[in-house]
Structure 1
Amino acid sequence: MVTLIHTLADHSDDVNCCAFSSSYLASCSMDKMVRIYSLSNFAELPYSPLKGHTYAVHCCCFSSSGKLLASCSTDGTTILWNTQNGQKLAVLEQPSGSPVRVCKFSPESAYLASGAADGTLVLWHVNSLKFYRSGSVKDGSLVACSFSSDGNIFVTGSSGGDLTVWDNNMRCLYAEKAHDLGVTSCDFSSQPITDGEHGSKSFRLASCGQDNQVKLWVLSLNVITGFEMKFKCTLSGHSAPVLSCAFSYDGQVLVSGSVDKSVIIYETITGNILHILSQHTRYVTTCALPPNLPLLASGSMDKTVNIWQLDHGTCVKEHRVESRSRSNIEDWSEDEVSAWLSAEGLTDLVHIFKVNNIDGKELLNLTKESLANDLKIESLGLRNKVVRKIEELKIRLESTSCSIPDEFLCPITRELMRDPVIASDGYSYERMAIENWISNKKRSSPMTNLPLQSLMLTPNRTLKMAINRWFEIQETFNKPT
């Protein structure tokens, strides 16, 4: 079940965009306003609304730390705001003066991208608030943008229908006509797919458009094959143009909002529809999910933002903690520490940790004394709990071996394949899983939902050898010394 837990009705015109940080929800509107709410109780912050734009605000986004908020407008500017006090830090004017339709921070917030109605794209240095580089697309307005989680590439979408891939030096790597009637939104999953054979990273990308479709892609960049962008499947369900799409933090679900007034929640791997939400009375223009809570926000031309509680919260939390635990704690950002606190039931401490700029390195150095004297946590039981959770985290990290490459998991069962076979859709599956799928009269592909041209299954010996080699390495790595 997905439960509607709150409705925000403060805007006086269409809601154009919603964005989450680990602590806040922001929304922007045709009414020229940007509003910020606390995730603890959904109360609007004292300094909200933010007033600075002279025309409609099309997009808003938070920096990775949550300390900055960017908003862009028909007035041709992108404004940076301080989320601690609502202060306006900078007004970045699009060089062409064209209406700015989309803005997006890079993962580490070194850059801010702004895309305009005339097809121009600008990268800004966030620290210096200076112009860095610019480019443009040939056809249509820029209306969508998303960065890969490593920050090495980003994608823009245009009203002309193209998805364009750029590197972080603004070199165009690839362009494809993705949606015939125009792209409306795109989003990278923050969880990369590891290529077990070449050691490269691939990224899932979702896009949606005026053609009523949501499409999934895989983008890869490695020294052997160069850059590749592969279409994976189309997700059906909407009966009208799709205006927004967004992945959950763990990449397990994808949500989309449409002119048909509905929000659809999909399971990413199978493409199955999990839920259809139909509470909005006009077009759904935006969907967003936070990095640390099982929530969903949907905004609409009915001037409201609906907040939903997702029913898969426990699974998302467990997967998220597992995913973060595979990286070095010292490299955690302040937001990742906040997400860890929330996952461990220590949400009340998120604000204290953020105010004191506790990142992964600082987290490891915390003691009962520093919690009491520096962070001013008065409760002895709470201090003991934090220290115990940190020790448990260290132990779990030390015992965690290398994660299973995504390509070694059966798309149906999400378990390590032992007898992989290739179906006529070109994908590999565990033999028993795909045979059961077909025997249940499902003659369509589990990945694309398109009819299987043949029921023949071909053993994937190359993949099986790669899995066996990986498994042997893991056994050697985990063998007691």
Structure 2
Amino acid sequence: MVSVLRTLEQHADEVSGCAFSASLLATCSGDKTLRVYSAEDFSECPFSPLSGHGYGVHCCCFTSCGSYLLSCSTDGAVAVWSAHTGELLSTLEHPSRSPLRVCAVALDSTLVLGGACDGSVALWDFSSKTLRRCLAVSEASVMACCFSPCSQMFVTGSTHGDLRLWGVDGSALCVQKDAHDLGVTCCSFAPQFKVDGCCVEFRLASCGQDNQLKIWIVSQREGTVYSMKLLHVLSSQTAPVLSCAFSSDGALVVSGSVDKTVAIYDANLGTLLHSLKQHDRYVTAVAMSPTKPEDGDDTTVYGKIEPGGGGRRVRQEGPSDSSLTLLSDWSEEDVQKWLCDEGLEELVEIFKTNNIDGPELNRLNKETALEMGIESVGLRGRLLRKLESLKAAQSGSEAPDEFLCPITRELMRDPVIAADGYSYERESIESWIRGKAKSSPMTNLPLQTHCSPPTGRSRWP
């Protein structure tokens, strides 16, 4: 039996991460806050929301004992909070202050990982809050990382699509190149592992921009040789898969996708058990409760946990599940299907008569809609609002990396070139310079406080 227990709408921006402890649920958001709820009745804790990050929060996780909550942000820091009081206990800063996209804590709570946009991971000692090492693990942004259940290894995944296995001493143990075409978005180890003589086997789930969830067998043989073997390719979802998680017993694996669905699979057989379709936006995060309610079913939480509006889509959703094409590439048939999908069926004949394709739809405004014969003010308003929503969704969809601000990883609207030679969103680099030491977000070298537009017409400030 699968049913919706609660819908949580307190965040003011898209929910980017969620995590369970035995008694609590935490969510984090682009609105720079974390919110903490009781896992029993999903009432918000008195000390919630938690504010302390200067930019959007991308990931959160609990220590295994449930006493601490960790979060990471574009501000380049991992924050450590008391899960009982919401007090900010300490801040772990990435040595280059590069934006952190993901964080993880070892099962034995000895180590903390932070994956950064500059292709590095920082490894901290949790008890002393000191940096152990910072490893350059990729030439691309690190979007995924997780510890093995033995706490002696960790995996990283990047926008280049590789999965890499590392020892906590910084040694490179194994690499799976091109694990996911177009990039890895998340990875998660199953809590259990198997020992058979001199061989130890782990299960690892990973997902990516290739619309696939994959389950791997990670093996250590004779104490030194590591390998990663593909066990299952799960492809029930029709758009990029953004998040994945195992159940507490390792029997289930769950994933959330840009196609707005949550898929629940039998992790051993690789079969689809449920496809949850309650969301009307892309699903950015999933988590599974470590405890079981009285009926014996695991509780799954998934986001975007609707914040009541707002939130930028990370990839465009085209007119059909299999077509993620840009609006400018849509045919007349694509436009007509989009109208039907958005509940505007009464406009199909008008659009068909006027031969409106994607480029024409892209140029549509109030005046042209009136010229086409859409005289109802309400209908015309609904059409234009839907169109604006579609354009906003596509504006940040598959933009080349150089179009994204290195600080926020958002599409730049007012780009400027800083003295380090990198382009940034004006507001973001101004805030960075005001709030931090005068160092480059990309190189950590001293940064002269001036920027220029890409055209080079003027200097800032």
TM superposition score normalised by structure 2: 0.64
Aligned twin of 2:284: 285
Q: 1:17 to 1:153 in 2, by over 3 A?
A: same
Aligned twin of 1:419: none
Pairing 1:221-300 to 2, within 5 Å after superposition: 221-223=220-222, 226-293=225-292, 294-300=298-304
Pairing 1:28-427 to 2, within 5 Å after superposition: 28-177=28-177, 178-195=179-196, 198-223=197-222, 226-293=225-292, 294-300=298-304, 302-303=306-307
Aligned twin of 2:384: none
1:132 deviates by 0.9
Report the Cα distance in structure 2 between the residues aligned to 1:62 and 1:8, rounded to whole angstroms.
19
Task: Check conservation: 2:8, 2:305, Cα contact below 8 A.
Answer: no
Task: Check conservation: 2:63, 2:109, Cα contact below 8 A.
Answer: yes
Aligned twin of 1:472: none
Counterpart code for 2:300: L
Task: Check conservation: 1:98, 1:117, Cα contact below 8 A.
Answer: yes
Report the Cα distance in structure 1 between the residues aligned to 2:193 and 2:125, rounded to whole angstroms.
25
Aligned twin of 2:11: 11
1:123 deviates by 0.7
The CA deviation string for residues 254-285 of structure 1, in whole angstroms up to 9 with x for no partner, is 10000000000001111111000001111100
Report the Cα distance in structure 2 between the residues aligned to 1:199 and 1:32, rounded to whole angstroms.
47
Report the Cα distance in structure 1 between the residues aligned to 2:210 and 2:234, rounded to whole angstroms.
12
1:224 deviates by 5.9
The CA deviation string for residues 63-103 of structure 1, in whole angstroms up to 9 with x for no partner, is 11111111000111110001111111111111111101111
1:233 deviates by 2.0
Counterpart code for 1:150: C
Report the Cα distance in structure 2 between the residues aligned to 1:246 and 1:85, rounded to whole angstroms.
27
Task: Check conservation: 1:124, 1:133, Cα contact below 8 A.
Answer: yes
Aligned twin of 2:378: none
Report the Cα distance in structure 1 between the residues aligned to 2:55 and 2:41, rounded to whole angstroms.
30
Task: Check conservation: 2:120, 2:138, Cα contact below 8 A.
Answer: no
The DSSP-based 3-state class of the residue aligned with 2:66 is: coil
Counterpart code for 1:56: G
Q: 1:199 to 1:175 in 2, by over 3 A?
A: closer
Report the Cα distance in structure 1 between the residues aligned to 2:48 and 2:221, rounded to whole angstroms.
45
Report the Cα distance in structure 2 between the residues aligned to 1:116 and 1:224, rounded to whole angstroms.
30
Residue ranges of structure 2 left out of the alignment (5+ in a row): 293-297, 309-461
Kindly, what percent of the aligned residue pairs are identical? Answer: 49
Report the Cα distance in structure 2 between the residues aligned to 1:170 and 1:292, rounded to whole angstroms.
33
The CA deviation string for residues 267-308 of structure 1, in whole angstroms up to 9 with x for no partner, is 11111110000011111001100211220000117437xxxx
Task: Check conservation: 2:7, 2:305, Cα contact below 8 A.
Answer: no
Report the Cα distance in structure 1 between the residues aligned to 2:135 and 2:224, rounded to whole angstroms.
26
The CA deviation string for residues 29-71 of structure 1, in whole angstroms up to 9 with x for no partner, is 0000101111121111111100001110000000111111110
Q: 1:105 to 1:132 in 2, by over 3 A?
A: same
1:243 deviates by 0.2
1:228 deviates by 1.4
Counterpart code for 1:218: I
Counterpart code for 1:297: V
Aligned twin of 1:457: none
Task: Check conservation: 2:111, 2:126, Cα contact below 8 A.
Answer: yes
Task: Check conservation: 2:209, 2:241, Cα contact below 8 A.
Answer: yes
1:171 deviates by 1.2
Aligned twin of 2:336: none
Task: Check conservation: 2:8, 2:306, Cα contact below 8 A.
Answer: no
The CA deviation string for residues 319-338 of structure 1, in whole angstroms up to 9 with x for no partner, is xxxxxxxxxxxxxxxxxxxx
Task: Check conservation: 1:13, 1:301, Cα contact below 8 A.
Answer: no
Task: Check conservation: 1:116, 1:143, Cα contact below 8 A.
Answer: yes
The DSSP-based 3-state class of the residue aligned with 1:6 is: coil
Aligned twin of 2:441: none
Residue ranges of structure 1 left out of the alignment (5+ in a row): 305-481
Aligned residue pairs, count: 303
Q: 1:282 to 1:301 in 2, by over 3 A?
A: farther
1:200 deviates by 2.7
1:181 deviates by 0.4
The CA deviation string for residues 302-356 of structure 1, in whole angstroms up to 9 with x for no partner, is 437xxxxxxxxxxxxxxxxxxxxxxxxxxxxxxxxxxxxxxxxxxxxxxxxxxxx
The CA deviation string for residues 125-166 of structure 1, in whole angstroms up to 9 with x for no partner, is 111111111101233111111111111211011111111101
Report the Cα distance in structure 2 between the residues aligned to 1:9 and 1:224, rounded to whole angstroms.
48
The DSSP-based 3-state class of the residue aligned with 1:215 is: strand
Counterpart code for 1:162: D
Runs of 4+ in 1 over 3 A off after TM superposition: none
The DSSP-based 3-state class of the residue aligned with 2:6 is: strand
Task: Check conservation: 1:119, 1:138, Cα contact below 8 A.
Answer: yes
Task: Check conservation: 2:240, 2:259, Cα contact below 8 A.
Answer: yes
Greater helix content = 1
The CA deviation string for residues 186-214 of structure 1, in whole angstroms up to 9 with x for no partner, is 0100111232xx34320000100000011
Task: Check conservation: 1:100, 1:117, Cα contact below 8 A.
Answer: yes
The DSSP-based 3-state class of the residue aligned with 2:4 is: strand
The CA deviation string for residues 393-427 of structure 1, in whole angstroms up to 9 with x for no partner, is xxxxxxxxxxxxxxxxxxxxxxxxxxxxxxxxxxx
Report the Cα distance in structure 2 between the residues aligned to 1:301 and 1:21, rounded to whole angstroms.
18
1:232 deviates by 1.4
Report the Cα distance in structure 1 between the residues aligned to 2:262 and 2:194, rounded to whole angstroms.
26
Q: 1:58 to 1:282 in 2, by over 3 A?
A: same
The DSSP-based 3-state class of the residue aligned with 2:192 is: coil
Task: Check conservation: 2:191, 2:249, Cα contact below 8 A.
Answer: yes
The DSSP-based 3-state class of the residue aligned with 1:140 is: coil
TM superposition score normalised by structure 1: 0.62
1:220 deviates by 1.2
Counterpart code for 2:141: S
